[in-house]
Amino acid sequence: MPEKYRICLDVGGTKVLGAVFNEAREPVYRIKKKSAENGEGLENVEQVILSVVEELLDASGIPMEQVAAIASSIPGVIDQKAGVVLFTPNLPMRNYDMGSAMKKRFGVPFFIGNDVNLGVLGEYRFGAARGYRNVVGVFVGTGVGGGLILNGELFTGNAFKAAEIGHMVLDPEGPLCGCGQRGCLEAFSSKQGMSAYIRQQTARGRASLLGEAVQTGVFKSKKLKKALAVNDPVAMEAVDRSCHYLAVATGSLINIFSPDLVLYGGGVIEALGDLYLDKILGEVDRYCMPEIRKTVELKCASLGDDSVLFGALALIEENT
């Protein structure tokens, strides 16, 4: 009997990462493309997503008949059962029936989930969170997302809308967030939030190696790492601000959930994990109860760019 493959997608605010997994749960082919340029609409983003699947099939030489299912993440609020993207702050998707579009084009079962829910699920099944029963995941990238494993199960709440940790309001008078609120964790700690801060500072005449990179969008994590290596003061301030609000949010999450583990992932953590973790650990004790804090471990994800892809694989395995 021919081997069956699974196609897994990680759709982010700036890129689409796709991989083909074999039956041994190994990624045998992958590609990465920009998800959208600023101002591009839904049709453009949809075409990129569909083209990633098509290119995976063409480049790998795998026929459609050997594809068992496709699963994708989206950074936003998802009706997981219906396959509909209800809202995403960083992509032009509102009430978008992604499930129908994928099934119409490819004719195989399709599953969808929030990106960080899947990232945490991937780390729980295959990565750094294995062996823990209660996990709070905080993923820092273009935005800030969250995921919860409670009593050994992915918790998605009523209508699959739980764990929007990035939209905890930490300062109601703070900067505007893509979700429409002010002072969200995402508005301070994400690449979007840091980019906005750097733009603000360079507009005041301060120099930064990231000044040009943030003029039309967000910087790349590698560029941030390079700026920090030469002690760029504006970049360092943006990171300190990001870590401060992550520590504040983490303290509240520890108090609320008393998890075994708080897990940090996403593109920024992949590039700067030790730096971020050290800064968060240096502050977090101020914002949570000592008796709860002493039973909680904080660490970084281990699957890197593949956390969400492995979560999409787990989603397929749980539903087929």
The residue ranges of every structural domain in the chain are 5-119+306-319, 132-302
* pLDDT for position 36: 61
Place of tokens 């967000």: 218
Tell me: domain 5-119+306-319, CATH 3.10.350.10, correct?
no
Query: In the chain, which residues have pLDDT < 70?
Result: 36-40
Query: What radius of gyration, in Å, describes the C-alpha atoms of the chain?
Result: 19
Give the per-residue pLDDT at 118.
Answer: 96
Mode of pairing for the β-strands spanning 15-21 and 94-97: unpaired
- Are domains 5-119+306-319 and 132-302 of this chain identical in fold? yes
130-154 residue pLDDT tens? 999 999 999 998 899 999 999 999 9
**Fold exhibited by the domain 132-302:** Nucleotidyltransferase; domain 5 (3.30.420)
Q: Which residues contact 286 (CB under 8 A, 6 or more apart)?
A: 247, 251
Three-state secondary structure call for residue 77: strand
Q: Where do the H-state alpha helices sit in the chain?
A: 42-60, 98-106, 115-126, 185-189, 191-203, 221-229, 233-257, 267-283, 290-293, 307-319
pLDDT of residue 67: 96
Determine the pLDDT at residue 288. 98
* pLDDT recorded at residue 40: 64
Measured distance CA(276)–CA(293) in Å, rounded: 18
- Entry pTM: 0.91
